[in-house]
Amino acid sequence: MSKEIIEQIARWAQLDEIYELVGKYTGYQGSEEITVEIYERPDGGQYRFSVHAYVTNDPSRHGHGNPERTIEDALSTYHWNDLSRR
């Protein structure tokens, strides 16, 4: 994403932080389809990568995580068990 677009989004939407979608992936956990999205802060920063994952046909079943320094750290500290049936 260009720096100009990021600046316009920040200005018009009055956002303090902006994340760009790096990739969206789909896999299966047993018979359930899981969608995993990886985001990056375009301005870098110490904690620049974050993960959002959810059961595709029930997005209310999603995990939680914090931004981390690397994609691997964001994936390894994500609370995947939150995807389980509630």
Quickly count: other Cβ atoms within 10 Å of residue 86's Cβ: 7
- DSSP lists the bridge partners of residue 25 as 36
What pLDDT is stored for residue 67 in this prediction?
Answer: 93
Indicate if the pLDDT at residue 86 is higher than 60.
Answer: no
Q: Are 38 and 26 in contact (CB under 8 A)?
A: no
Dihedral, CA atoms, 4, 10, 16, 17, nearest 10 degrees? -60
Encode pLDDT of 5-62 as tens digits.
888 998 999 998 888 999 999 999 989 999 999 999 887 777 899 999 999 999 999 9
CA distances from 44 to 1, 47, 59 (A): 13, 8, 28
Q: Give the pTM.
A: 0.85
